[in-house]
Amino acid sequence: MSSLRTDDDTWDIATSVGTTAVMVAAARAAETLRDDALIRDPFAQVLVAGAGSGVWEKMLDPEVGAQVAETDAEVAAIFEHMGNYQAVRTHYFDEYFRAAAEAGIRQVVILAAGLDSRAYRLPWPDGTVVYEIDQPKVLEYKAARLAEHGAGPSAQRVEVAVDLRVDWPKALREAGFDASAPTAWLAEGLLMYLPADAQDRLFELVTELSAPGSQVSVETVGVQAEERREQMRERFERIRAQMGVEETVDVAELMYNDPDRADVAEWLDAHGWQSSAVTSQQEMRRLGRWVLPPEFSDDSGFSSFVIARKG
């Protein structure tokens, strides 16, 4: 369980869970610079640049990987894996939204949107409305930062500034959401920050709000042994100290490593959805981005990507 979280904690882009949004944006920015990039996000660098100093600066430094490899080759591989994972994850959900749009869905809800830029960078069909739900300060930062650089959304973007632990369905409806229209939902980079019971409640509400023909796509949570988590934390701490990276929030401590968490695909199948899932390992191998040695192939420690349709 997380030791840094409380029932009423909040954050902006520079604190707590908010910092993870910057790190994810940094990963997208780094991927965009690659010749063989899986995704292109022209807004990621802008979003990162306004967030101040942090570990994300090292993520954008092409020399860091080589420096880490000199000290710990395995950790260097893990760093590379982390960047590859973000690229593959982003690519997977980009394709999900493209397929949903082709299927005629014109209402999108991104849960815990963070610094997600899909409302700006994906080619949405005319009439698409993208609802972004997140903490007020996070949404404010993103909109202001992109507006400063002349960026406008490619769909109708609607901010729903509310914490997912309160009555967010009410706020979503008040923002114009139509529960009678099919919706494409996304829960990416979210479930690991929720305890098991909150995850169940989230999908209960999504189900209640979803008309027939709706879709939902989800990044699930892998469960790692505490001993392994602690070993990796110690190794990353040594690297951080060696490279002179200022200590920030321990991301692992923000997450809920809950072994009793429901299997998302099974839960959805039992509640009126028809789901399919692919492991992140499978997707990373399919796209040529798997770099970890065989001993890291433990299925339980990695996430899966789920897509489900409500009949």
Comparing CA positions, the residue from 120, 129, 138 lying closest to residue 193 is: 138
Token duo for residue 286 = 């399919």
CB 55 within 8 A of CB 21: no
**What residues form DSSP beta bridges with 218?**
187, 306
Residue 26 lies in a domain: no
Note the pLDDT of residue 260: 87
What's the confidence (pLDDT) of residue 267?
Answer: 98
**Domain-embedded: residue 51:** no
How many CA within 13 A on the CB side of residue 23? 19
In a domain, 261, yes or no: yes
**Order of all β-strands in the sheet with 304-310:** 156-161, 129-134, 107-111, 184-187, 215-219, 304-310, 273-279
> Domain residues for 153?
104-310
> Tens of pLDDT along 155-209?
999 999 999 989 999 999 999 999 999 999 999 999 998 999 999 999 999 999 9
Residue 35 lies in a domain: no
pLDDT at position 86, please? Answer: 95
- C-alpha–C-alpha distance, residues 142 and 159, integer Å: 11
Q: For residue 290, tell me if it sits in a domain.
A: yes
- Successive 10-residue mean pLDDT values, the chain, 311 residues: 49 62 92 97 93 64 70 79 94 98 98 97 98 94 95 98 94 98 98 93 98 98 69 66 60 76 97 97 96 74 94 90
In a domain, 95, yes or no: no
Residue 14: inside a domain, yes or no?
A: no
Tokens found for residue 112: 């815990």
Helix crossing, 73-102 with 16-32: angle to 10°? Answer: 90
Residue 1: per-residue pLDDT = 41
Question: Could you tell me the CATH number of the domain that includes residue 154?
Answer: 3.40.50.150
Q: What is the 3-state secondary structure (H, E, C) of 269-281?
A: HCCCEEEEEEEHH
Are 158 and 176 a contacting pair, CB within 8 Å?
Answer: yes
Q: What total of structural domains would you count in the chain?
A: 1
pLDDT tens figures, 240-273: 666 666 655 556 667 788 888 999 999 999 999 9
Largest CA distance in the chain: 57
- What local confidence, expressed as pLDDT, does residue 4 receive? 47
53, part of any domain? no
Which pTM was predicted?
A: 0.88
